[in-house]
Structure 1
Amino acid sequence: MTREPEIPAEQRSASPQFLLDAEETRSDEMLTAEYYKRQAEAICNNATLALFIMNEHQQCVFMNAAAEKLTGFRFAEVKGRALHAVIHHTHPDGRPYLLEECPIDRAFPQNNQEQGEEIFVHKDGSFYPVAYTASPIREGDNVVGTIIEVRDITREKLDEQARAELDQAKSAFFSNISHELRTPLTLVLGETEEALADVEEPMSDRLRDRIEVIRRNGQRLLKLVNTLLDFSRLESGHTEGIYEATDLATYTSDLASMFRSTIERAGLQLVVDCPALSEPIYVDRGMWEKIVLNLLSNAFKFTFHGWITIRLRERDDRVELTVEDTGIGIPHNELPKLFERFHRVEGAEGRSFEGSGIGLSLVQELVNLHYGEIRATSTPGQGSCFTVSIPTGTAHLPAESRAEIRRLDSTMLGAGSFIQEALGWLPEPEAKPDFSRSQAAAPVARLLIADDNADMRNYLKRLLSQHYDVHTVADGVAALDAVRSHLPDLVLTDVMMPGLDGVELLRSLRSDPQTQTIPIILLSAQVAEDARLEGLEAGADDYLTKPFSAKELLVRVESSLKLAQQRQRGRIREQALMSEAQTAEANLQGVLSSLRDGFLILDHNWHYIYINDRQLEMLELRRDQVVGKNVWDLFPDLVGSEFYDRLHYVMHEHMPVQFEYYYTACHRWFENRVYPTPDGISILCAEITERKQAEAALRESQARLQFLLNSSQIGSWDLDLTSKPMTAHRSLKHDQIFGYESLLPEWNDEIFLAHVHPDDREFVEQSFQQMLSTHADWNFECRIIRPDHQICWIWARGSVYYDADGVPIRLLGMVVDITNRKQAEQEREDLLQREQAARAAAERANRIKDEFLAVVSHELRTPMNPILGWARLLHQGRLSAEKTETAIATIERNAKLQVQLIDDLLDVSRILRGKMSLAIAPVNLAAVISGAIETVRLAAEAKSLSIHITGAKPGVTVNGDPGRLQQVVWNLLSNAVKFTPEGGQITIDLSPVGTQAQIQVSDTGKGISAEFLPYVFEHFRQEDAAITRKFGGLGLGLSIVRQITELHGGTVSVDSPGEGKGTIFTVKIPLAAYHAEALPPARSHFDHRLSDVRILVVDDEADSRDIITFVLEQEGAIVTSVASGFEALDRIDLIHPDLIISDIGMPEMDGYRLMHLLRAMPQAKTIPAIALTAYAGEYDQRQALKVGFQHHLSKPVDLDQLTQAIHQALFNAHPQPD
């Protein structure tokens, strides 16, 4: 608040006109405001971010140079207009905005911050994407405009598009390579299996053998292709596991048992030790199959006698799979490279020399996808042991990768390729196991096959025609026509086809009501999981990956036909929308006020057009000596300097620079940041002389320190490598570092090691031996123990010297005591940990503050909805008398709710500042409790809650503030009512306990968790955000209870047996030393009328004037109301009021100024006055009383309280704050 000028006594008069001359002093303030405005505009114009400022009508009142460059429009073209009226902008996809949907223009009406992306249209017609943040500008509680920040994101969008195209190209490559590799294998293996199973036209034994060779090698090739594709998908990130809850013991046993006959045929023993586990394990079944079969195949390949054991065990929170053999073993030097791709152990004797060398590498990759690890141990000639460890549970797995329904796996088919390969290693292979299934039933269903590959169509038709009525087409378009002409019972379609591919055919059939229930099986060579998911999400009944066996295809077709008769339609496609924007309010004034460096602007002709006070102070010049002058004329000594060159570079190249420069004229260093602007350049200048001096002093200190170290702090030694033990010559400083005042008579390597700390001795000895073997420099740090048992740190370094034949003969080195450095490092680590803890605490405080501000916003705005709604209905005048009473009651209740919220905030503010005062008097606690119960009774009855009072005695008296004590009890009762469900019970007990009065409030409500009990009485704390949303409140009530109780010398505690078991709050306050007459709570109304009392009401708000005038006239007063302090001064002699009621916050002349002038007038000096204001702080109360008001009432004003204050002012005349 501006201090008013002193009024000389000789100028005081009944007329206030002379007082208005003081208003001329405000002209200097206007000049200062204009100066700061120019300063803010200069900084905004130098910002690289485009800025727009809109007024309350969303008309542009400012745009900086960056905004002009971004849009192509000058400020003069946009000034006073809405942005959408000048600068066209659209949705990111190019759709134009409706006027009421424009996000930038929506920030002001909705009173919140908007963020997003749009397409701007430049003045030249070009389009470019931008990101924007639009934030309301607030002045007090009012929104007076909008500030909009806009950033060109063209480069980001181009980079994003390039990344998307690259990902698309990679996906296309993997899809194509999968198709090209696996489709021919499907045909080869399918034809050979069909030929071998043909009993109607059996082939000769010679031809059968050839076909068997083709089939076996085809299966081997398929296994290799699958492995290579697995690695390709791993490299590209296309492999994602689908983890199912699996009985891992049974599944692993089944997989291992498939190898039993093959292993036993080779004369080996297979031991399967997989006892039942305590819980299902989440694994990708296909990946686990490859892990187990690869490890078994590897063990069988390199084991010629003995046994192979597969074991499964639980280890704490992990499961371990162990595959152990008695084979040839692995050399120790090969173990680190065992899991490298394509690595093969040289000279290893196995059942076959064949193999790609990628099986174990694939196992390691698949184990990693299970968040596990694999390790191997081996003893050459005795065998090897591979151990796979994976975690139990699901905490380590992404939610989207877990499957609740088990997929159909082709385990037998996968194991078959490994077994067939293993049988090929045996010298005399015997009959291979039969994995075939029984043929399907007689052909009764009509099948449609769509595939662009003629061989595949013919193969599928021959295979399925034995059981079904089969028709074939060559592409998706023909398939769609065939389906529409004659509905089939099942469609079997390839995914990759010209024209209309399989997925598009699938979507077309699913979108047609007549065909949407037909079972559809997709055939694809794409093995990627996302390709399979895409097909299933599009509505496929099954997804079969090439190559597949004939038996697998028959089973899948038969299963799909059976399931189609029972399946219920449903939609399983969901789209998840994620568009939560984070909001952050920009405070431009805060940024400007934080600017402490020098700042200046030069035009294209190098003339100063702006310079701030800090820069003038650094230059030791006045503003009139600088502004408008040429910089090179003022400082000719800078022409041709680095400063001169750097500024010309920015002016011509329009690129910002930052550099340091020493100005010899004033012997000072400056750090300069130079930015290009449309009109020239701007410079931020900071003086760094002290920093430079400190840096120079530091360098000098470091040089002196280095000299001292070189001269006195470094010990030297010369070790003879040819002697036994190795003796050394040393300097005196060397032995002093080791704790001796003088040189010892002898020193050797053994003496040195004896001084090394036992924990470091092995490391030092190993490094010494390594130095001797490699002849590299010896460089190490370790701890030593001095003769006085003091432990110190040393750093030592030595270099080897050789004789003419290259034999090492001497080791020359130095040693330094680094104990202080090590201690400093430890102290720095300790300091870092303390800083991190402090930062965590600060972040927690900020998070609580943000949550509290969100709650305050909600709690203050929520009551406004019924107030405004009922007010509008009352204004329309169409409510019945009953509804009118309901409306008035609702408005009054919600207004009181807002007052209570504000009072709570003010109480916390007073408490935190230590400004809460108490009106101490003897208080009857029974009366306090009765008053508090009456306050919450209606709320309790609304929830059918019963309130019981026990032990309350009229004689329980304490010394305290009756209003504040009633506030304590009311807060506890309100808390109990809020958190007690309907039909519950609340009990309040009052009893003396020793020298203290004890109040206990207990309920049968939701209770409080043990973890939250220590934080119940903290400011702004609630147990979780759901409580705020369900019950409301600011989290201040219990904090206020604690503070008021402690101000009375008492304590408050809380206890809860647990959630759902209720809560007990206990308040203890010292009993009064004597039983004087206790004061009841303050009266809520006054009984005397104000007949013929003349009252002058001064308020610039018409609604406030009208309600106060109406109420006072109802009480019989004669009321004159005016809208300003000037009118009050003019009318004071005409009406001769008995009382003045004045608002404080008024334009032109506030209430303080008005009262100051009135008290200077003899005829108004003694008129009682009451101040009304929305400023409810202790300072505001003291200021009102200081200038001459008798009372200070905070808005919103309780009308009974106002009437009581009027009577006190007229009849008692004792100043009282609210």
Structure 2
Amino acid sequence: MTAPLPSSVLAGNLPVRAFLRAFPFYLAWNGDGVIVEAGPSLRKIYPNAEPGARIEDVFRLVRPRGELAPAFFHANADQLFILEGKLNLRLLRGGFFPLDGSEIAVFLGTPWLRDTDELSSYGLTLADFAVHDQTLDLLLLLQTQKSAANDLRHLNARLVEKRSQLIEKEAQARKLALVASSTDNAVILTDFDMRLEWVNDAFTRVTGWTFEEIGGRRLWDFLAASAPEAVSFDAAAACLEAGKVYRKELLQRRRDGRHYWLSIEVQRLPDEAREVASLMVIGRDVTERKAAVEALRRSELEARSQRDEARRQHDELDWIYNTAPIGICLFDRDLRYRRVNRWLAEINGASIDAHIGKSVWDVAPGVAARVETEAQNVIRTARPARFEDVTGETAAQPGVIRYFNESWFPAFDERGEVAGLTLLVEEITDQRRVRVLKEADRRKNEFLATLAHELRNPLAPIKSALQMVQMNESFDPEICAENQAALRIAERQVDHLTRLVDDLLEVARITHGKIELKREPTDLLAILPQAVDLVRPQLERKGHVLTYEAPAAPLPVSGDKVRLVQVFANLLDNAVKYTPAGGAIRLSAGREGEMAVVRVADNGQGIPPEKLSSIWDLFAQVEYNTPEAKAGIGIGLALARNLVELHGGHVSAASQGAGRGAEFRVAIPLAASLKS
């Protein structure tokens, strides 16, 4: 709610309201800035100047500069006030008249009209104007003149200041021109329209262009002509608008066509009104610097690449060092461990940390004396050394003599002196055992070959002697019958021994790689009956029943007939031997893919599962408590496997276990004619 006007009076005891009605363009507002009353004529011009409206929402104070507050009006009561309506921008001029003891500001004014034609546009008539006191009119005139005088004084002071600034600016311009003409940097000045207005001599030296050739061209057009993709007009404008210096490096083209790098700084040159009048551009030829930076960048890239490669190689070497299946360590000259890999730590039976900084006497005393002797020899000669089949005992395996190959390499310092040693240790204990076993196996094979030859030599004359005795008819008939039975037993044993010796000789030949197959086209079905004939006496003696199954079509192979007969005879002999009397043996043949397959099956003593893979080894036997099972020496199956493999085939055995029989399978490649 607005406060009413006070009841006090001005000079002459005129009531306040009567005084205000004499001035139809009056306005009053309180200390809170709220309009309390407005003259009727004023309301015609400013209809929003209603009681209750805020003065600052209706008017703007044009002069003097300040706030629409009673305190400001009291302080400037002697000045001419001009208000502007915010809705229609119409001006109201007048004075402020204080009311004694009141916070209300009273403005007595009149519209600022330039001619009478504006009355109708304002919605006013002559009746809206009151007859004023001449003294009041004179007062308003004096205030207007005083205000105009103040404006003239301020204008004169401003002109003096501007003249001084202009003189100073001209002096600065002369200094700037002197500096610009002597600098090595290219300097460009533009006019208000951004056209080239002046360039210094350095500009011509840098670009090759003279002012006569490019004067008047727009700055951005000139720069973009050589590097259109490099100049961002929006970015430059935004930077300059913010009052900052625009900086950019541009690849430019000289007048002679050569390229160069130009670093530019563009800044505004404001005029007296602090508005942009022109631009100044300072350009520096940074071609050499750019080349140096590029060379440095490439050098850094190359250095980074080299560092990465060195790091990669270091990582690879470190990986090799830690995963190599040999022991590796670094010693100083006093044989203290500087670095140790996992393998050497395991050889010595101590952790890696337990090695570092310790001497070889502390970590591996069992080999320290020998290692020290080897190391001192390398230090003395400054040359690598290798020691093979060295022995020693370590904490990893106490009481066990271990074998090693050791390689020593000296490490030199910058003076070329031995600063340390690298030791590579390869344990060969297991390899040495294998080597010893192979040597023993080689000697065994040589012994068997020699034994077989020595045994076979007397067998032939013994066989001949037995045959001669059988043919001699001078014996007594009764004695002769007994001798004939003994002779037949002796002859069978000689034949058996001969086969054993022959098998030993075959194994020896195969082992030494001296056997040669006499290959020829052969029907496998013609081979099998010959093998049966060789074991027929044993079959009949034990009462076995042999069944034979074969296809009607032949099974052609490329093989050695004698060796193939030997293979299947050995398999049949094995079946006869390990099948109790009256057993059943089945021999079958057929084609499976590109292989000719022969099977020998029996219902004999069978093979334990754990023996299925080893029965093909030389001298391997399955322990059975039968005289015939103990009669062999375990070379028949080994010989059969070797001969089959020489033919490019393979063998296998199957059994359901002890007492459930066995089956042996032989697969040999069919001849090429049948494959096609």
TM-score tier, shorter chain, comes to 0.3 to 0.5
> Which structure has the greater CA radius of gyration?
2
Scaled by the length of structure 1, what TM-score is found?
0.20
